[in-house]
Structure 1
Amino acid sequence: MFCWFYSFQLHAQIAPKREFRGVWIATVSNIDWPSQQGLSPVTQMEEFRYILDEHQKNGINALVVQVRPTTDALYRSSRELWSHWLSGKQGEAPNPPYDPLAFQIEEAHKRGMEFHAWFNPYRAIHDTISANIAPNHITKTRPEWFVTYAGKKYFKPGLPEVREYIVGIILDVVQRYDVDAIHFDDYFYPYPTRDTFPDDDDFAQYGAGFVNKDDWRRHNVDEVIRVLSDSIKAVKPHVKFGISPFGIWRNKKEDPRGSDTNGLTNYGQLYADIRGWLEKGWIDYNVPQLYFNIGYQVADYAKLLDWWSKNNFGKHLYIGQGTYRVNTDARVKEWYNPLETGNQLRLNRQTPNVQGSVFFSSKSVMSNPLGVQDTLRKDFYKYPALVPAMPWLDDVAPLAPTELKATSTLDGIHLAWKAPAKAPDGEMARYYVVYRTPKGTDIDVENPAHILRIHHGGPAYLDQSAVSGQRYTYLVTAVDRLHNESRPSETVKAKRK
C-alpha cells in the first residue's frame, strides 16, 4: 500500500494536471519567426503553423509572441509602422495583404493555446543609421521623445506623454484583438554600459519631489505598469498582464528582502520594481528569467527559484528557462550536461507556488539540444495540462455538460453531450476535457493520465484511439476562458467494436 501511495505521489509531482507550459516566439532579428525578412505571406503563415504544430506535440499550452519589438508593428496598425522584420523595409505592408496577429491568434486558439502578445515598451530602434529608418517613423516625427544610448534609440521613460503613448499603443491591441494576455520582458531602462543614461534634463523638468534620480526612474516605470494594469482590466477584465524580468530583483547585500545573489538587479539597474508590482497586485503573473545553472555562484538557479516562490504575493509564478544556453555556452560546463534542464524542471515542480515554465526560445526548443524537446514529449509534458486558473480574475466555474452518450462505431467511440447553459457570471464553456479510463479503473479527474483530450470544439468527440474489443469509462467537463473547470458530467461506458 505504501509503495502504491508513494508511486502515485511521485506521478502527481512529475505530471501536474494544471501547469503553464509556454514558449517565447521572438521576432526581433528574426530569431524565431519569420525565419528571414521579405518572405511571402504564404510562407510566413506556413512557418508559423509548423512552429505551432511542433509545440503542440511538445505539450505547450501558451505562446508568448513578440508583436512590437522595436516601436513597430507585426500587426495592422494605424499608429505604428509595419515592422521591417516582416518585409525587410520599415513601413512596408505584407503583400498580398494579411494581418499576422489576427492569423496567429486564430491558429493558437485552434490548437488550444493561449496567446500572449509580447511588447517591448521602450526600445525604439536597433539600427540608428538614418537611411534605414522610414521618414514617418516616430523617432523622426517626435525626436524629442527619444534618446540614443549604447548604439540604440529608446523612448525617454520620464516624459508623461511617452508613458501615455506606450499605454495607448498596447490598449489598441487589447481592444481590437482576441489576445489572452499582454506580456513585457526584461527591457525597461536599458541594461547599463560604462556610459550614464542621459536623462539629466528630464529629471530637472519632471523630478520634483524625488530626492534621487533612481527613485524617479523607478516611478516612471511604475506609472506605465500601474496605468496599463488598470486600463487593461477596464477594457477587457479577462486579459492577463504579465512581466518576465531579469532573474534578480535585489541582492541581499543591498536589501535584506533580496536574494542570496551578487548580480545586476531589476531594482537597481533596470529600475523595474517587479516585487513591488506583485505586492500591489498590478500584474497577474511573473516569469523571472532564471537563465542560470543550478549551483552558479553569482546567481544560483535553485536559490533564485526558492526566493521568487516566497515573493509572488499570491500571483502566478512561471519560470523562464534558458534553453538557448543548452549545449551552446562553452563558458559553463553545466549547460553541456544533458540532465541540467530536467533537473531544473523537477526542481520547479518540487517548489511551492511555481506553476509552470516558459522556454526561451522556440527555435532553441525545436532544435532539441541535448534532447530537451524529446524530454518534454516523452516525460515532462507527456500528459496534457490545463492552464492554471486565476481566481482573482474569475472564480466562477461553468455548469457541467449533461446527457453524455457514447456510441461504438467502426471508426471509434463517438461521444456526444449537451453543452451547458451560461454560468452565473454569464460565461459559456470555452472548451471541454474528455476523461477516459480502461475497464476496472475509476476516473480520477485530478490525474492527468486520465485525460484523453483537451477538446477545443463542439459538444462531441470521436475517440479513435480506443482499442477494438476494449471497454472504457468516459466523462466530460466544461472549462471557461480563464480555465475554471466544471463538475464532471455523468459517466458512460462503451466497448469499441
Structure 2
Amino acid sequence: MIKTLLILTILFVSVLCAQIQYETRAVWVATNFRLDWPPQTLNPDIQINALTEIFDSIKSKNLNTIYFQVRGNGSVMFNSPFEPYSIYLTGNTGIKPAFDPLKLAVKLAHERNLEIHAWLNIMRCYSGSKQNILQSSDRLLNAHPEWVRKYYEDGKVSYWLDPGLPEVRKYLIDLISEAIKKYDIDGIQLDFMRYPGKNFNDLNTYRRYGNGLDLNDWRRKNITAFLSQLYSSVKRIKPYIKVGVTPIGIYKNSVNARGWEGFSEVYQDSETWLKDKIVDYLVPQIYWDLNNNPKFFTVAKTWESISNNRNIVLGIAAYKNHIKHEIPEMIDFSKKLNTAGVALFRYENIRDYNFTNFDHWAFPAQMHWLKLPGINLPVINLSAKILPGNSFKIKFSWKTFDKDRTKHFFRSFILSGDAGRGKEFVDNPITLNDSTSVLQIPKPDKINYDFHLNIIDRLWNVKQVSKNKAIQYKPLTVLANNPKPIFRPILLKDKNGFKIILASGITDTARIVSLNKDKIENVLMQKLLKGINIIEINKIDIESLQISIKAADKKYKLNLKY
C-alpha cells in the first residue's frame, strides 16, 4: 500500500484546531410541566439516566451552555429550606427525592466541560390547571398569601409575587443566594423577572410604597431594585457567578419591530440594567422569524446596540417549526453582529437537530469584567515521546496536581502547539483527572514543534502551566540535511515500512519498482503533486528500489538514508 502526503503550507488538521473559539451556544432544559425533564416516571434511576442522555446529546452537538430550570410554579429542583421540591420528582410536592437534581446536573455538566446556569422563574409562582400542585403548605400561595396576586393570562389563572413588596424582594434574594452558596453553578438566569401586565392588582402596595412616583416608573424601579440588590448579593458570595436575565423580545417598539413591549407593558427597563452594570448578560426572547414584523434581524440589532459591553445572547424559538430552517442563518447573523452567541428554546425541540454551524467545539463567550479569587496556578512537568508508526503521533504525559483547594476554579487542561508562522494550534480539552494525551499531526510541514500544557479556569481563560516541550519531525530533519533535496529523492525506513521523500516542480507521475529479497518485483504508479511529496510504502522487505519520474524524465536508484 502506498500513500502520498503533500507538504506545502499545510497546517494541523483533523486532530488539532487553529484556535480557541468563544461563542455561547446555549439551550434551555425545561423541568416545569416535565417539558424536557424529568420523564413521565417517578423511578429515580430512569430520571438520572434521562438527564445524563440529555447532557450527552447537548455535548455531542457542540453546544456549551445549559440553562437548567430549577424553579418553576413555586417549587424547586434543589434542596432548599425556602421552597418545596417539585411534584414531578416523586409525585408529591415537597417530598425529598432519591437524588438532588441540581447537584446531579452540575456534576454532569462539568464532567462534559459544559457551563450550567440555574434558570429560575422569579415573579410568577404558578400557572396551569393542576390544582394539586398547590397543596403543599410550604408553597408561597399558602405560606405567604399576602405576597401573592391572582392574574388571568389568556383566560387562565396564574399567581404572581408582588415586586413592590420589600419582603418579596428580600425573600427571593435569600432563596437564590442560598442556592449559590450550596451549588457549584456557573451562573443564574432570571425568567419572568417582570410584572405580568398593566392591570396587575398592586394598588395597595403602590399607595404604601409609591412615594409620589408615577405608577409605571415605580413598577420599573421595583424590578430594577430587585436585580440590583440580587446582583450585589451574588457578587459578595461568588464574584465569578454570571447573572443573566431573559427579558421578553421587544424592549421598545420600533418601525420594523412592534409587539408586546418590555419597557411599558411588563416594566423591564433592560437598558438601565445594562448601563448600571447590574447584569452580566441578557438573553432576549427574539422568538420571531426573519421576514415578518417583528423581524429577528431588527430586534437583534436593537439589543446589541444597547449592550453597553455586556453580553447579549440571542434567544431563538426552536420550538416554532417555521423558524427551524432559519436557525443557521440566525446563528450566522449573531456572529456577524458580534453578539455573545445564541440560545435555543428548548432541548426537546433541538434533540434531533443537526447544527451545521457548530462543526467544532467552542468555549462560552467570555466576560472580562468577572474575576476569580487570587489562586496559584499549578506548575506541571510535561513529557513527550513520538510513538512508533507511519503517522506523526506524540504521547504527552504529566502528573496530576492537588485539586482539592482549587478544583472550583479550574475546568480542564488543553495542549497547545506552535505551528510556526506565528500561529498556535490547540487540542481538544482534557479533563483534570487525565494525565496523558496523544496528538497526531497528519501532515507535518516543518521540523521543529513546541507544545505546552494549559489550564482552563472556570471563566474560560487559558493559562500556561508547563514549559515548552520541543519535538522534532525526524524525516524532515533528514530532508533538510540533504545537500540537494530538490533534485534527488530520499528513501527512509522505520519500524512500519518505508518512506520516499521527493520534490516535484509540476504535477507528475512516478513509476516505483521495488525488489524484495526473493527478487520479486512490485510495480506501483503514483501521482506526484507540486511541492514536497512523502510516499509511504507499508512493506518491510524491500531489497532495492528504483523510481522513474515521467514528465521530468528522471530515473533514480534509492539507497536508505535513515
Superposition TM-score, scaled by structure 2 size: 0.72
Instruction: Provide the secondary structure at the position in 2 that maps to 1:77.
Output: coil
For 1:25-424, list aligned pairs within 5 A.
Answer: 25-36=29-40, 38-94=41-97, 97-127=98-128, 131-136=132-137, 137-150=139-152, 151-190=157-196, 196-210=199-213, 212-252=214-254, 260-297=256-293, 299-325=294-320, 327=321, 329=322, 335=323, 338=325, 340-352=326-338, 354-368=339-353, 374=354, 376=355, 379-394=356-371, 403-409=381-387, 413-417=394-398
Instruction: Provide the secondary structure at the position in 1 that maps to 2:80.
Output: coil
5+ residue gaps, structure 1, are 6-13, 254-259, 330-334, 369-373
Q: Does 1:453 align with 2:431?
A: no
Q: Is the 8 A contact 2:20 2:363 kept in 1?
A: no
Q: Is the 8 A contact 1:435 1:443 kept in 2?
A: no
Take 1:359 and 1:69, find their aligned partners in 2: how far apart are those partners? 19
Query: Given the superposition, is the C-alpha separation of residues 101 and 280 from structure 1 closer, same or farther in structure 2, using an over 3 Å criterion?
Result: same
- The correspondence for 1:19, drawn from 19, 23, 34, is 23
For 1:422-441, list aligned pairs within 5 A.
Answer: 429-435=410-416
Take 1:115 and 1:135, find their aligned partners in 2: how far apart are those partners? 29
Instruction: Provide the secondary structure at the position in 2 that maps to 1:486.
Output: strand
Q: How many residues of Structure 1 are paired with residues of Structure 2 in the alignment?
A: 446
Which of the pair has more CA radius of gyration? 2
5+ residue gaps, structure 2, are 1-7, 10-17, 474-494, 497-562
Q: Greater share of helix residues, 1 or 2?
A: 1
Q: CA deviation at 1:426?
A: 12
Q: CA deviation at 1:252?
A: 3.9
Query: Given the superposition, is the C-alpha separation of residues 93 and 426 from structure 1 closer, same or farther in structure 2, using an over 3 Å criterion?
Result: closer
Query: Given the superposition, is the C-alpha separation of residues 130 and 343 from structure 1 closer, same or farther in structure 2, using an over 3 Å criterion?
Result: closer
Query: Given the superposition, is the C-alpha separation of residues 264 and 466 from structure 1 closer, same or farther in structure 2, using an over 3 Å criterion?
Result: same
Take 2:437 and 2:32, find their aligned partners in 1: how far apart are those partners? 41
Identity of aligned residues (%): 26
Take 1:240 and 1:288, find their aligned partners in 2: how far apart are those partners? 16
Which residue of structure 1 aligns with residue 471 of structure 2?
493
Q: CA deviation at 1:142?
A: 1.3
Structure 1, 388-397 or 120-129: larger mean CA deviation: 388-397
Q: Is the 8 A contact 1:182 1:241 kept in 2?
A: yes
Instruction: Provide the secondary structure at the position in 2 that maps to 1:433.
Output: strand
Take 1:463 and 1:401, find their aligned partners in 2: how far apart are those partners? 21
Q: Greater share of strand residues, 1 or 2?
A: 2
Q: Is the 8 A contact 2:194 2:223 kept in 1?
A: yes
Q: Is the 8 A contact 2:184 2:408 kept in 1?
A: no
Q: Match for 1:444: what amino acid?
A: K
Structure 1, 107-116 or 387-396: larger mean CA deviation: 387-396
Q: Is the 8 A contact 2:417 2:426 kept in 1?
A: yes
Instruction: Provide the secondary structure at the position in 1 that maps to 2:461.
Output: coil
Structure 1, 43-52 or 466-475: larger mean CA deviation: 466-475
Take 1:476 and 1:161, find their aligned partners in 2: how far apart are those partners? 50
Instruction: Provide the secondary structure at the position in 2 that maps to 1:381.
Output: coil
Which residue of structure 1 aligns with residue 458 of structure 2?
481
Q: Is the 8 A contact 1:416 1:459 kept in 2?
A: no
**Structure 1 residues 32-91: Cα deviation after superposition (integer angstroms, max 9, x where no partner):** 11122x421111110011011111111111111000112111111121111113223212
Q: Is the 8 A contact 1:64 1:115 kept in 2?
A: yes
Q: Is the 8 A contact 1:59 1:382 kept in 2?
A: yes
Take 1:460 and 1:113, find their aligned partners in 2: how far apart are those partners? 20
Q: Match for 2:127: what amino acid?
A: H
Take 1:431 and 1:398, find their aligned partners in 2: how far apart are those partners? 16
Instruction: Provide the secondary structure at the position in 2 that maps to 1:117.
Output: strand
Instruction: Provide the secondary structure at the position in 1 that maps to 2:428.
Output: strand
**Structure 1 residues 139-183: Cα deviation after superposition (integer angstroms, max 9, x where no partner):** 112111111111011111111111111111101101111111011
Which residue of structure 2 aligns with residue 444 of structure 1?
423
